[in-house]
Chains A and B, each alone.
Chain A
Amino acid sequence: MIQALETERLGKRYGRKWALRNCALRIPIGHVTGLVGPNGAGKTTLLHLAMGLLAPTSGTVKVFGYSPAKEARQVLSKVGFVAQEHPLYKTFRVEEMLTAGRKLNANWDQDLALRRLKQVGIPLRQRVGKLSGGQQAQVALIMTLAKRPEMLLLDEPVASLDPLARREFQQTLLDAVTEDGLSVIVSSHIVADLERFCDHLVILSASQVQITADVDHLLQSHKLLVGPRDRAQTRTGTYTVVTSREAERHCMLLVQMHGPMIDPAWEVRDVSLEDIILAYLSQPSRGMAGLEEKKLGVTQ
């Protein structure tokens, strides 16, 4: 099946430093995927590789089955990209930005652009530089939507916005997703909104993919176990530990469950997505590659 984005052993090296390493991803069509990680984790590098703005050092990347480097035309007609700084011509009026968009893009949908601008109340005669940060972000997004892409790549689109502008930006984006069934990949280091916004998640840290899964699955399979420290293990048939906090006699384990917890010594609690993400980010050496087997808490 064709994936919206598919990478295999994808890597990018700048000089001696790997910005992204051994990245294997399959992101199906029709999802809103969050790309989460601290600054410098490789999020922007991955998006630039997907757009063909960078060439891979190793491995392959395919967008809707096409190679962004070799089949740029097919990829560019299907994919829209919104960069973090929302690059717009600040001296242009909004309507002049639309004219530029129409002349530069074959599939330009002027009606869509006008309708969406009206929805969010941005006046066409206003100069772009005079708009608020939130409105500029909206214009950049609407310009990209008017290209009629099948997938949107957004690099930290809301990082510089206040909470209200962030919510309004997301509403425009999600409305477009509902209307057109767009696939979206959005990078972010703001983890608070991701749960309602994304249905799929890729956690990147230290240039590597730590985990990639559906949000529902992440929430349902991760639990906080509270119980006696001397019975804590890094890995059992029932669970795999992501992070642990230990006190003298009892400990708290954030775990991925593989089956129901039967041992009554443990209290099982739900965890928020934010806590799950932070747990994976704080354990960059572990992750999917497999955890080292060791007994916790017991000094040998």
Chain B
Amino acid sequence: MEAEKATIEFYLDSRSGVAPYLQLVQQVKQALRLGFLKPGDQLPTVREVVAQLAINPNTVFKAYRTLELEGLVGSRPGLGTFVLRTLADPALESHDALRQRLMGWLQDAAAAGLQEESIEALFTNALQQLKKRNEEEIA
């Protein structure tokens, strides 16, 4: 029997200083945000994750329990753990168009001679400016 492709592939970064269970939680949330995981999708079984990463099963249990407490997944005894809701932006459809415009802007910036760090600084700065303006509007 051919095994179905896993809905999500986990990885661990042991230099990050982030607890392994939190790394798994963050990866599921990221996949939910980006729409890679959708309601109804089954997460890999604890045993599959253990086999794939050579990771302690208690870590996987803890990650799944954390996701369950946040209402993102639910476990059905004997069947597995399933995604209950998504974290995807309702504006997910507009991501593609926005990404393309951002790519165009990034190319312009590179063409103007900006280094990666300068681009990052500029972007962060602009984002902060936007935040500040929004706060002022509310106030």
Q: Using CB atoms and an 8 Å cutoff, list the residues of chain A in contact with chain B.
A: 30-32, 167, 170-171, 174-175, 177-179, 192-193, 195-199, 215-216, 219-220, 269-275
| Shortest Cβ distance from residue A36 to the other chain B in the assembled complex, whole angstroms | 15
- How far apart are the CA atoms of A198 and B56 in the complex, in Å? 6
Q: How far is the CA of A272 from the CA of B55 in the complex (A)?
A: 16
In this complex, what residue of A is CB-closest to B21? Answer: A216
Task: State which of A171, A178, A192, A195 has its C-beta within 8 Å of the C-beta of B20.
Answer: A195
Cβ contact of A216, chosen from B14, B19, B51, cutoff 8 A? B19
CA distance A31 to B14 in the complex (A): 20
Binds A, one of B57-65, B73-81, B98-106, B126-134: B57-65
Which B residues fall within an 8 A CB radius of A? 12, 14-22, 46-47, 50-51, 53-59, 62
Contact of B55 among A196, A216, A274 (CB under 8 A): A196
- By a CB distance below 8 angstroms, the chain A residues around B12 are 195-196
Residue in A170, A171, A179, A272 whose CB lies within 8 Å of B14 = A272
**Docked pose: A171 CA to B22 CA in angstroms:** 21
A196 and B53 contacting across the interface, CB-CB below 8 Å: yes
Check A178/B46 contact, CB under 8 A, given A196-B59, A197-B54, A272-B15: yes
Q: Are A270 and B18 interface neighbours, CB within 8 A?
A: yes
- Bound CA span A95–B51, Å: 26
From B17, B50, B57, contact of A272 by CB (8 A): B17
**B56 CB contact (under 8 Å) in A197, A219, A271, A272:** A197
A167, B22: Cα distance in complex, Å = 22
Taking a contact as CB atoms under 8 Å apart, the answer to whether A30 and B58 are in contact is yes
- Chain A residues near B58 (CB, 8 Å)? 30-32, 199
A48: min CB distance to chain B, Å: 25
CB of A196 within 8 A of CB of B62, answer no
Q: In the A-B complex, list the 8 residue pairs whose CB atoms are closest, starting with the nearest.
A: A270-B17, A178-B57, A216-B19, A219-B19, A199-B58, A196-B55, A170-B54, A271-B17
Q: Is the interface of B mostly helix, strand, loop or mixed?
A: helix
- For this complex, 19 residue pairs linking A to B, each with C-beta atoms less than 8 Å apart, are A167-B54, A175-B50, A175-B51, A177-B57, A193-B54, A196-B55, A196-B56, A197-B54, A197-B56, A198-B56, A215-B20, A219-B17, A219-B18, A269-B17, A270-B18, A272-B14, A272-B17, A273-B14, A274-B15
Assuming A174-B57, A196-B20, what are 19 further A-B pairs, CB within 8 angstroms? A32-B56, A170-B54, A171-B54, A174-B51, A174-B54, A175-B47, A175-B50, A177-B56, A178-B46, A178-B57, A195-B14, A196-B14, A196-B54, A196-B59, A199-B58, A216-B20, A216-B62, A269-B17, A272-B14
Contact B51 A171 (CB under 8 A): yes
Q: Which residues of B contact A216 (CB under 8 A)?
A: 19-22, 62
Q: B50: which A residues are within 8 A, CB to CB?
A: 171, 174-175, 177-178
With the chains together, A178 CA to B62 CA distance in Å? 13
Q: Please indicate the chain A residues that have their CB under 8 angstroms from the CB of B56 in the complex.
A: 32, 174, 177, 196-199
CB-CB under 8 A from B51, the residues of chain A are 171, 174-175
Q: Which residue of A lies closest to B62 (CB)?
A: A216
**Which residues of chain B are within 8 angstroms of A179 by Cβ–Cβ distance?**
47
Contacts known (A175-B47, A196-B14, A272-B14); A220 close to B54, Cβ less than 8 A? no
Chain A residues with CB under 8 A of B16: 270, 272
Q: In chain B, what residue has the closest Cβ to A198? A: B56
Chain B residue at minimal CB-CB distance from A271: B17
**Are B18 and A192 within 8 A (Cβ)?**
no
Residues of B within 8 A of A30 (CB): 58
Among A30, A167, A216, residue most surrounded by chain B Cβ atoms (within 10 Å) = A216
Cβ-defined contact, A199 with B59, below 8 A = yes
Asked if B47 and A178 make an inter-chain contact with CB atoms under 8 angstroms apart, the answer reads yes
A124 to B50, CA, bound (A): 26
How many angstroms between the C-alpha atoms of A195 and B21 in the bound complex?
A: 10
Residues of B contacting A220 with CB < 8 Å?
A: 19
Enumerate chain A residues within 8 angstroms of B20, measured Cβ to Cβ.
Answer: 195-196, 215-216
Chain A residue at minimum C-beta to C-beta distance from B45: A178
- How far is B96's CA from A250's CA once the two chains are assembled, in angstroms? 46
In the complex, what distance in Å separates the CA atom of A43 from the CA atom of B50? 27
